[in-house]
Chain A
Amino acid sequence: MLKWMARLRRFHTSALGLLLICGFALLTATRARAQGNYEIQVYGADTEAPKSTMVELHSNFTPDGQKQIIDGVYPTNHQEHETLEITQGINSWSEVGFYVFTSLQDGHGWQWVGDHIRPRVRVPDSWHWPVGVSLSTEIGYQRAVYSPDTWTWEIRPIMDKSVGRWYFAVNPALERTLHGPDVKQGIGFSPAAKVGYDFTKVVSGGFEYYADYGRITAVSALHDQQQQLFVVTDLNVSPKWEINVGVGIGATASTDHWIVKGILGRHFSWVKQQSPTD
């Protein structure tokens, strides 16, 4: 899957985001070296407010990644990925997101990689659940030179909780290849998690973990798994803005060794200017 995203704050502050990458790679878990890092984010449970839109730019660079072409897939080393994400709030408990994935690399120029759509619903506030819970599903296409599995589908349960200065999020995602070499591999398990701490009202920091264990019915050997850990920070400078940066390290042979990621997002409200009496 192309995404690991997280909205850190359940309360509409900055999105959590640390992204780590592996997303693309998760789609191709059994093809260990065919990975890409397009959207690296642990999702928070909150959804975009109705009549508002979130526009995010995910910028991820791989300083030290795969250096060879494997199965016709471009190497990730020194690839710069720019992903545009547009999320529209539907109502107080649902949203839909759209993605445009691109890649820049010496010798290949700036290339379109693929597009995804991601509807999401969450448990309404009125249910008074003690943790934030939502369910995201994402389906989309990516070009074979960036991922041998061209059509993929993901279901991502999302749970999060803020406790004082601490923030916790877990995304035990399940993935399925719809078209490509792994179409018969069944369902893959790609969990992600985040722990954050508010150092101040503006500055939060923490860790994000991303993994791809391979098939849920047959976990891959460790060296074929993807395991990444990011050190991240979120800057809550304004309710309108979302700023997240991080550096990640891959812990297995199948994972890119170093990745630098950044997210810049802004909320736009389409509600007309309110009068004091609204």
Chain B
Amino acid sequence: MLTRRGLLKLGSVAAASAAVPKQAYSFAAADYTLDIAPYTLEVSPKHSIKTIAYNQQIPGPLLRFKEGQQVTIDVTNHTANEEVVHWHGLFLPPDVDGAMEEGTPMIPAGGSARYTFTPQPSGFRWYHTHTFAGEDLKKGQYSGQHGFLLIEPRDSAAPKAAQHDQEFFLALHDWDGEMTGSSDGSMNPEYRFATINGRVLGFGEPLRVKQGQQALLHILNSSATEPHWIALAGHQFRVIALDGNPVPAPQLVPMLRLAPAERVCAIVEMNNPGVWVLGEVRKHVQEAGLGIVVEYAGHTGGQAGRPAGKPVWQQPQSLLWNYEQFAAADSRVAPSGNIIEVPLVFESKFAGHGAPDHWRINGKSWPDTETVTLVNGQRYRLLFKNKSSDDHPVHLHRHSFELRSLPRNQYIRGIFKDVVLVDANTETHVEFTANNPGATLFHCHQQNHMDEGFMMLFRYA
């Protein structure tokens, strides 16, 4: 059946065809190349997963760009399906942002595309596929198409976010999902494996550190649908940035929570020698593999009194996390000025016990959702009203927004993000300035929610 989304795809393909000749005149070699191709991921010694990956590795290659310095990436699609690469968290024009709904051409099966853009802002970003998966839990964000993107500040003299001796990039991901009924009658995937950088706990290479080091962790949740809570036994995290943007009040916390597509940058002071587990706080998820060993130099064994070689895990008894702890100290100031409020109500629509719920924004599902017209330079306040029993990690393309009101904190400021988790049956308010003209996609980053209509477009007047 040809759906409206299908029609949109056809339009994007036509746009791609039109764009190719112009791009073909550029003979200069690209700065980077990405090959999208089938790949067999060995998540553990006994289990492999057939998926799609960038450059035959999961996560894809770490791309380091310089803020404000034009970069060119050639992408070749070796798969049998159309693909597109979204540069998540960057302020890009819509034709290269990587969402066909905004107008980025799809890369046809067997075809290539050249992405040329000037990356900004600086910080920890990522890139990933932005395609429809539907009932195929091996496509889209369920696959291995994700990679780290680090935009270094244009001013090399600018103060660094934090002094550190080593940095690690960690991607949390879930694999081999199956759609099952949840307690409220809707459907969500359950996963067989969960990994960090494509390996289950104990299979991948440990993070090797030395006593006294400051380790900077760049952590990404690339899962299609699942939030994750992460702790490092024997240590705490000093959170310095959320979604790649420095927070006004860095805090020492015992664990991190990352909703799908969220990133956290945190410093860990390596002051407790031993062999430890950095892993999921929820037992059943860690048992599915989500964890990695942290090994101090000279400590290949366990802690005193523990079996040699056994990494140590200390099980927390609760899940602790909130955004507001990182907000500016003088947050308790009501918003003022010329700000236009845009209420966005999230609801589900029952589609039968044998089908996932449809998702609606202000009563309509994509592609019928209303389009909000923005005026360049205007400040907007988005009022996210989640009237469903699911949490939603909502993402605004091509912009970042400031958290302004959370369920437990009416006024906050200073935290800039591009994804925020709106808890079930709560309200969250964010503000952003419309300063990047062009079609701008807004959607839930949970793949099955996005696929079932949780998307809308902002357009500029």
A interface residues with partner B (beta carbon < 8 Å): 9-13, 125-126, 128, 161-167, 198, 200-201, 204, 236, 239, 275-278
Q: Residues of A contacting B184 with CB < 8 Å?
A: 239
Contact B181 A278 (CB under 8 A): no
**Interface code B174-209, partner A: CB below 8 Å = 1, 0 otherwise?**
000010110111010000100000000000000000
CB nearest neighbor in B for A9: B353
- A236 CA to B184 CA, complexed, in Å: 10
Question: Is A165 touching B352 in the complex (CB atoms < 8 A)?
Answer: yes
Q: Is the CB of B281 within 8 A of A277?
A: yes
The number of chain B residues with a CB under 8 A from chain A is: 24
Q: In the complex, A12 Cα to B180 Cα: how many Å? A: 9
- Chosen A-B contacts, 27 in total, with CB atoms closer than 8 Å, are A9-B353, A10-B181, A11-B187, A11-B353, A125-B180, A126-B178, A126-B192, A162-B352, A162-B353, A162-B354, A162-B355, A163-B352, A163-B355, A165-B352, A165-B354, A165-B355, A167-B353, A198-B352, A200-B350, A236-B185, A239-B184, A277-B282, A277-B315, A277-B317, A277-B318, A277-B319, A278-B284
A34 to B352 Cα, complex, angstroms: 40
Q: How many A-B contacts if CB must be within 8 Å?
A: 71
Cβ B185 vs Cβ A201 within 8 A: yes
> Cα distance A9–B181 when bound, in Å?
10
- In Å, the complex CA distance between A80 and B229 comes to 55
B387 to chain A, nearest CB (A): 15
Docked Cα-Cα span, A165 to B180, in Å, equals 15
Interface string of B311-328 (1 = CB under 8 A from A): 000011111000000000
Neighbouring B residues of A126 by C-beta, 8 Å: 178, 192
CB contacts (< 8 Å) of A13 on chain B: these are 181, 185, 353
Give A122 Cβ to nearest chain B Cβ, in Å: 14
Contact with A along B339-371 (1 / 0, CB 8 A): 000000000001111110000000000000000
Measured between beta carbons, the chain A residues less than 8 angstroms from B316 are: 277
Verify A278–B282 contact, CB threshold 8 A.
yes
User: Which chain B residues border A277 with CB–CB below 8 Å?
Assistant: 229, 281-283, 315-319
Given contacts A164-B355, A165-B355, A277-B315, is CB(A201)–CB(B350) below 8 Å? yes
Other-chain contact of B350, A128, A166, A198, A278 (Cβ < 8 Å):
A198
B354/A167 in contact, CB under 8 A: yes
| Contacting residue for A161 out of B185, B283, B317, B354, CB 8 A | B354
The answer to whether B353 and A198 touch across the interface, beta carbons within 8 angstroms, is yes
Give A156 to B283 CA distance when docked, in angstroms.
38
Q: Measured between C-beta atoms, what is the minimum distance from A15 to chain B in Å?
A: 12
Q: Name B186's closest neighbour in chain A (CB-CB).
A: A201
Q: A13-B181, A13-B185, A278-B282 are in contact. Are A166 and B317 (CB under 8 A)?
A: no
A278 in contact with B351 (CB, 8 Å) = no
Q: Which residues from chain A contact B317 at a C-beta distance below 8 Å? A: 275, 277
Contact of A125 among B178, B318, B351, B353 (CB under 8 A): B178
Closest to A161 in B: B354
New A-B pairs, 6, CB < 8 Å, besides A126-B178, A236-B185: A162-B354, A165-B355, A198-B354, A239-B185, A275-B317, A276-B282
The 6 closest A-B pairs by CB, nearest first: A11-B181, A162-B354, A165-B352, A164-B352, A164-B355, A201-B350
Q: B181: which A residues are within 8 A, CB to CB?
A: 9-13
Closest to B255 in A: A277
Interface positions, chain B 112-145, Cβ under 8 Å from A, are: none
Chain A residues with CB below 8 A from B185, complex form:
11, 13, 201, 236, 239
Which A residues are CB-close (under 8 A) to B229? Answer: 277
How far, in angstroms, from A9 to B180 measured CA to CA in the complex? 12
Contacts of B315 in A (CB 8 A): 277
- Output the least CB separation between A94 and chain B (Å): 18
Contacts of B351 on A, CB cut-off 8 Å?
A: 164-165
Interface centre among B284, B350, B352 (most CB of A within 10 A): B352
The answer to whether A276 touches B354, judged by C-beta atoms less than 8 angstroms apart, is no
- Contact A236–B350 (Cβ < 8 Å): no
List chain A residues, Cβ under 8 A from B352.
162-166, 198
In the complex, the answer to whether A128 meets B178 with C-beta atoms within 8 Å is yes
> In the complex, A200→B351 CA distance in Å?
8
| Chain B residues whose CB sits within 8 angstroms of the CB of A198 once the complex forms | 350, 352-354
Residues on B with C-beta less than 8 A from A166 are 352, 354
Query: CA–CA, A276 to B354, complex, Å?
Result: 29
Q: How far is the CB of B277 from chain A (nearest CB, A)?
A: 14
Q: Which chain A residues border B282 with CB–CB below 8 Å?
A: 276-278
Q: Which residues of A contact B355 (CB under 8 A)?
A: 162-165
CA distance A201 to B184 in the complex (A): 9
Given the complex of chains A and B, what is the CA–CA distance between A126 and B191 in angstroms? 11
